[in-house]
A and B are shown apart, each in its own frame.
Chain A
Amino acid sequence: AQSVAQPEDQVNVAEGNPLTVKCTYSVSGNPYLFWYVQYPNRGLQFLLKYITGDNLVKGSYGFEAEFNKSQTSFHLKKPSALVSDSALYFCAVRDKEPKSTFGDGTTLTVKP
């Protein structure tokens, strides 16, 4: 069985400050990890993924995430938040099974 936890329903940051959106996971094998973003009234868009290799993954719009095997985490980060980053963010995980499990989502609000 696989599961994902996004412990924060909401994250609020000021524009220009760094942001972190947390994600922890549980899988039986090697994890494939993903972050997706959902802007208001739009579908989910892929941000980045970790499959293998470097633990620090860089993705779209200046976002990055760090895979931490010992802590089973894959937190999403950005050094300097923009108001336009305000959206709903989903972490997802899968192992050898092709079916992905998504977290409940974290609403990021960046205030000017």
Chain B
Amino acid sequence: GAGVSQSPSNKVTEKGKDVELRCDPISGHTALYWYRQSLGQGLEFLIYFQGNSAPDKSGLPSDRFSAERTGGSVSTLTIQRTQQEDSAVYLCASSPEMGADTQYFGPGTRLTVL
């Protein structure tokens, strides 16, 4: 079956521009997570969604970052006024529910801010 997909796979942008990163979770998965992986760093939690509940935004590094999940499926992570320090791989994961379940990761979007 189809796994988690993310688009674009690579994004190069100029400092100050806005970017949108998309995640398509596995069909039927109610939980969706966004992480950031900087070069040589571990995974930094950004935000998660569970069904129609209010998302946990506690990991978002600044108010330039926001995310939406429409219809309980596709999610978009938006970074406004990008900065060079935003350069990283942005990973999306989904799981059947927010419990002890395994997270299934997408291939990531590599963002480069020039």
Instruction: Decide yes or no whether B67 CB sits under 8 A from chain A.
Output: no
A-B CB pair tally, cutoff 8 Å: 48
CA distance A104 to B4 in the complex (A): 23
The answer to the question of B98 belonging to the interface, with a C-beta cut-off of 8 Å to chain A, is: yes
The answer to the question of A84 belonging to the interface, with a C-beta cut-off of 8 Å to chain B, is no
Contact A100 B108 (CB under 8 A): no
User: Which of B43, B58, B99, B106 has a CB less than 8 Å from the CB of A102?
Assistant: B43
Chain B residues, CB < 8 A from A102: 35, 42-43, 45
Bound CA–CA A46/B101 (angstroms)? 11
Binding site for A on B (CB under 8 A): 4, 31, 35, 41-43, 45, 48, 50, 56, 58-59, 91, 93, 98-100, 102-108
Show 22 residue pairs from A and B whose CB-CB distance is below 8 angstroms, ordered by the A residue: A34-B102, A34-B103, A42-B107, A43-B4, A43-B108, A44-B43, A44-B93, A49-B102, A90-B42, A90-B43, A92-B43, A94-B100, A98-B31, A98-B98, A99-B58, A101-B45, A102-B35, A102-B42, A102-B43, A102-B45, A103-B42, A104-B42
